[in-house]
Structure 1
Amino acid sequence: MPLYRDECVVLRTHKLGEADRIVTMLSRQHGKIRAVAKGVRRTASKFGSRLEPFMVVDAQFYEGRSLDIVTQAESLGAYGAQIVADYGAYTAASAMVETADRLSEADAGLQQYLLLVGALRSLSRGEHHSSATLDSYLLRAMSIAGWAPSFSDCAVTGEPGPHSAFVVQLGGVVADRAAPPARRGSTRRPSACSVRCSPATG
């Protein structure tokens, strides 16, 4: 079986048998990787806590038919402990890795990997409020994946804006005729996380 090596962010893990885990990772060069980490749940495991969510590792794999096998993992970014210690950072990081997992189903490139690593690093250091880091990550990740945010088109009808009404329950900015009567003419500005997104064109 051929060997390969890559830098990866651990997205999630699942128990397998008594001592193994299936680890889902977003890698720098190989996209999303699902691999078995054998014996990782044992106290004497050589991987220790390196293959936990939010960790960045330099890993070596055996290529398998359905699942690869992790043979080595060296820590590059130990962000897990700092993130888990803060509830806001933990919930933001959980949303980030789930988004990365979903967006990388079909295709994952270097930009998605670098964006996620940077966002997790920022969360672990507390550089910005966790909700601001999450909003920024989501907008950029969706843009890289081909979904452009719209701050002016109606979230219900797609009618070009600008529009003055903003209704969270309807998806963001809406035309006056699509807004409930109480919200018509509202001038409240949308937040970055509540805008309607549509496929990018051009």
Structure 2
Amino acid sequence: MTVYRDSAVVLRVTKLGEADRIVTLLTRRTGRVRAVAKGVRRTRSKFGGRLEPFSHVDLQLYEGRNLDIVTQAVALDSFGSVLAADYPRYTAATAIVEAAERMTAEEREPSLKLYLLLVGALRALSTTDREPSLVLDSFLLRAMVIAGWAPALRECARCGSPGPHAAFSIASGGLLCVACRSAGAAGATRPASSCVDLMAALAAGDWDRVDTSTGVHRREASGLIAALLQWHLERGLRSLPMVDRTAATPLGRPPAGPSDGTAAERPQPPRLDLAVPAAGPAPVDVSLPAGLFGPGTAEPLPEVAARS
């Protein structure tokens, strides 16, 4: 069997037999991969908690006929502990990993940009106080851009005439000018101009403009983004209606204590250690753009060994 090594984010896990799991991964080099982690559910498993959802890991796998087999796992980022401790962050992360899986229709089709976008989004959720719903909406917009479904937010989606335009059509893929709307664009709406500006800022990573937006425009933009994604995927994300769009607890601040007045200690975000394992090659500069999800979310990722 072919042995290969790759870095990956765990998207989903499914029970298999008494002690195994099928792990769905978005890898850096290979795209979406399903692999078996043998014995991972045993108490003394060598994998520990490194193959839980949201984990960013460096893996060694055997390429199987139907499913690959995970033989080694080294943690690169431990996002799960921070995300699981805060419900708004957790629900946003759940929608993000589901979207990443749905937007990789074919297994083993490399998607480096989506992988880097996913790592950046999870890092932003777990290491910054950025509002989780804004990180989610920004991820969905950028993922649609990567997939070739970029909405027209500055020009007419049909004729390309420059804006500003008032009408927005989900079926047409963005704004419509007066002439194109009159030509039979059914179901067009008229969102607030500030809502469209917010969507453009989320797509461009202009967080200074995003932070000045109001709750009304954020909710309107979230609805349009969800509708656009559902139109292209032909069905919505199951986890999206469950997203808690209230503000998350600031990192480093303990959440409200129980009814007896005692404060529950909140786990601190883990230190990001992206050092390459000793046996691995030297890192290369494939960092995310600096403004992707705000400062501190674009870290260089380690290169991985090619297939042997």
TM over 0.5: yes
Counterpart in 2 of 1:74?
Answer: 74
| Mapped partners of 2:192, 2:72: distance in 1 | 57
Task: Provide the aligned length of Structure 1 versus Structure 2.
Answer: 196
Deviates more, 1:141-150 or 1:77-86: 141-150
User: 1:102 matched to which residue of 2?
Assistant: 102
1:141 is the counterpart of 2:147:
no
How far is 1:189 from its partner?
A: 3.1
Q: Deviation digits for residues 102-127 of structure 1, max 9, x if unmatched?
A: 11123332111111111101101134
Q: TM-score, length-normalised on structure 1?
A: 0.82
Q: What secondary structure, in the 3-state scheme, does the structure 2 residue paired with 1:25 have?
A: strand
Provide the C-alpha distance between the structure 1 equivalents of 2:169 and 2:151, rounded to a whole number of angstroms.
16
- 1:29 corresponds in structure 2 to 29
- Matched AA of 1:65: R
Determine the structure 1 residue equivalent to 2:128.
126
Structure 1: which 5+ residue stretches go unaligned?
Answer: none
The CA deviation at 1:164 is: 2.5
More strand by share: 1
- How big is the shift at 1:2? 1.5
Q: Give 3-state SS (helix, strand or coil) of 1:149's partner.
A: coil
Tell me, yes or no, if structure 1 residue 3 matches structure 2 residue 9: no
Instruction: Provide the residue aligned with 1:50 in structure 2.
Output: 50
Aligned-pair Cα RMSD in Å = 3.2
The residue aligned with 1:20 is 20
Query: Would the alpha carbon gap of residues 132 and 61 (structure 1) be closer, same or farther in structure 2, given more than 3 Å must change?
Result: same
After alignment, is 134-143 or 75-84 more displaced? 134-143
Q: Aligned partners of 1:7 and 1:147: how far apart in 2?
A: 27
Q: 1:88 to 1:61 in 2, by over 3 A?
A: same
TM-score, normalised via structure 2 length: 0.56
Structure 1: how far apart are the matches of 2:5 and 2:145? Answer: 28
Say which SS state the counterpart of residue 8 (structure 1) adopts.
strand
Give the aligned residue type for 1:20. D
C-alpha distance in 2 between matches for 1:31 and 1:117: 14
Report the secondary structure of 2:57's partner residue.
strand
- What secondary structure sits across from 1:51 in the alignment? coil
